[in-house]
Structure 1
Amino acid sequence: MISLDNFQKTVQRPMVPYVETLTGGLVPGELVVMRGLVPEDSERFQVDFQSGSSTKPRADVAFHFNPRFKRSGCIVCNTLQNEKWGYEEITYEMPFEKGKPFEIVFMVLHDKFQVSVNGKHLLLYKHRIKLEKVDTLGIYGNVEISMIGFVSNKSLQGSQPSLLGTTKKNTGNEELPDSSQFVLPYFARLHSSLEPGRTIVIKGEVKEKAQSFAINLKPSDSKDIALHLNPRMKEKAFVRNSYLSSGWGEEEKHITHFPFSPGMYFELIILCKAHQYNVAINGMHTLEYKHRFKQLNKINVVEISGDIDLLDVRSW
């Protein structure tokens, strides 16, 4: 659950139908969070990110998110332009249950919306209308909303500097454009070793046809790997391990749900504690990993490889 401390603005117990202007519109990196309950007799409800609030003619809807509960249920997503609906994108996974509370997180990205419900990734919806045209939020249908919260771009991005000391994979001395420092395989030295209290944040996007990717934290003076994180898409396995004294240890795989999905944006946070690493993905605590490599003051390298587009790496 996203902590209340992160919200820039909240709306408590709004009446549905709810139509309200989004001051300043929507900006990539923002989150819109909704908590509520699906009544027992609900057949459907919808959340619409709109251009204006006109009803005649009806305002364009950039993103129509519409859970329907008849039969086994589905979620219909669509766009309304010039009073005409486009093609429906239907998701048959149904995370909402009648009579049960829910938390929906709409993450706004430059090319799509990314939606998770109750901490689990649900779907992606590519923009069909320019994001800058979205200025209104509408909630309709049979649903009870207890809170709407807005998390700004700034609190997500953090003000910590990107990692320096990146080894660039180029041959000449030419200055490379900024994004090139995140070419894979990626290698960077930490400004200071990964001791308790330190944090690493890795931001990226899983490729559409991804098989796996890996993140390694290691010392620079040996081949040991203190922490190996290895999500594997086909198996839906999130493998954790350490490579010590020229051999891999026992894999840890247990996880309540696999947090990655093709095309999805993620912010993976590794927090080093005295006895373990804590790993969170998109604000949700995902796993712990007990230290097997005990010389924490020697861990000073981050390596990232595999089927992702790497967007940022930060450490503090």
Structure 2
Amino acid sequence: MLSLNNLQNIIYNPTVPYVGTISEQLKPGSLIVIRGHIPNDVDRFQVDLQLGNSLKPRADVAFHFNPRFKRSNCIVCNTLTNEKWGCEEITYDMPFRKEKSFEIVILVLKNKFQVAVNGKHTLLYAHRIGPEKIDTLGIYGKVNIHSIGFSFSSGLQNMETSTLGLTQISRENVRKSGKTQLSLPFEARLNTSMGPGRTVVIKGEVNANAKGFNVDLVVGKSRDIALHLNPRLNVKAFVRNSFLQDAWGEEERNITCFPFSPGMYFEMIIYCDLREFKVAVNGVHNLEYKHRLKELSRIDTLAVDGDIHLLDLRSW
């Protein structure tokens, strides 16, 4: 689970510039969490995932993450190989503010880095150097760092699909290159029906050109939908509803921050409470949805469809 609480090897209040060895190999599923504060006189700072710490010649930088505050507020990402910078990738949606605290979460995926700032998805950066070669973290520039923490979980190590606590009832899994792929539309029976304290987790990757997808908690017998979660990327709306007695109810859409972006990896957690469902995405609580179908134990089926690559499903 994408948890920002079980961090290891936490370094508190390091002096900047900071250059430190990363104690374990970065694999898919590893997290680096950097918490700090932006001073008022900031012009720029950078977080570099490096191959060694040599200054002459300068060590290669697999991932250079460089927020800049002068002229155009932007984040520049790049890779340094043999003392030469590659092609810059620039993000103009600037999540950092002067005199404000921040939390940067860098998630290592098989083919890219995924960065969130203050719980909001910020950017993706495709690997140009294999992350397993990175052994050093460097932080430079005008920035105050409160803590640096790591999580070397290998939960995503080979992105093996699993359906724990669920029995698949949709069409058969497609096997490709010896790995099971969960094909959509996907439908599975919960091994234990819904009720207070029950949790469902969906892990997936949003397609690059995604318009939307849906996750439904269904009453198998009547096909009533107790909870319909429908993120729509083309309009940045996170629609929630119920389909009861052959009719859709009133949509709920209010949300502080739309959590999905094309190409991003996500872990969606649906937690069933006495009064409502609570939904979190990538470790950040997103919304509550009051139960409209009161007999929770009738909810026994999970259905997923839409513009995503489904990786993993769990229920307990």
TM-score with structure 1 length normalisation? 0.94
Retained in 2: the 8 A contact 1:6–1:155? Answer: no
Counterpart mapping for 1:196-275 below 5 A? 196-275=196-275
Measure how far apart 1:170 and its partner are. 4.1
Change in 2 beyond 3 A, CA 1:16/1:253: same
State how far apart, in whole Å, the 2-side matches of 1:13 and 1:275 are.
Answer: 42
User: Which amino acid in structure 1 is aligned with residue 180 of structure 2?
Assistant: S
What secondary structure is seen at the aligned counterpart in 2 of 1:312? strand
Query: Structure 1 131/155 Cα, relative in aligned 2: closer, same or farther at 3 Å?
Result: closer
Aligned to 1:179: 180
Q: Larger % of helix: which?
A: 1
Question: Offset at 1:6?
Answer: 1.6
Q: Cα–Cα, structure 1 residues 176 and 47, in superposed 2: closer, same or farther, change >3 Å?
A: closer
Q: Deviations over 1:134-160 (max 9, x none)?
A: 111000011000011112315789xx9
Residue 309 of structure 1 corresponds to 309
Structure 1 unpaired stretches of 5+: none
SS of 2:164's equivalent in the other structure is: coil
Residue aligned with 2:228, SS: strand
- Conservation of the 8 A alpha-carbon contact between 1:219 and 1:299: yes
Equivalence for 1:136 = 136
Aligned residue type for 2:164? S
Paired AA for residue 99 in structure 2: G
CA distance in 2, matches of 1:275, 1:215: 20
| Cα distance in 2, alignment partners of residues 294 and 280 from structure 1 | 22
Provide closer, same or farther for how the CA distance between residues 83 and 192 of structure 1 changes in structure 2, counting only shifts above 3 A. Answer: same
Aligned equivalent of 2:149: 149
Unaligned runs of 5+ in 2: none
Q: What is the aligned partner in structure 2 of residue 103 from structure 1?
A: 103
Q: TM-score, normalised by structure 2?
A: 0.94
Rounded Cα–Cα distance in structure 1 between residues aligned with 2:109 and 2:224: 37
User: Which residue of the partner structure matches residue 63 of structure 1?
Assistant: 63
2:184 aligned with 1:167 = no
Q: How many residues align?
A: 311
* Matched residue, 2:16: 16
Distance 1:44 1:191 in 2: 52
Kindly indicate whether the alpha-carbon contact (under 8 Å) linking 2:27 and 2:154 is maintained by their aligned counterparts in 1: no
Cross-structure match for 1:190: 190
Q: 2: distance between equivalents of 1:171 and 1:29?
A: 24
The answer as to whether partners of 1:25 and 1:136 remain within 8 angstroms in 2 is: no
User: RMSD across aligned C-alpha pairs, in angstroms?
Assistant: 2.1
Partner-residue secondary structure (3-state), 1:260:
coil
> Any runs of at least 4 consecutive aligned residues in structure 1 with deviations exceeding 4 A, and if so which?
154-157, 174-178
The amino acid across from 1:33 in the alignment is V
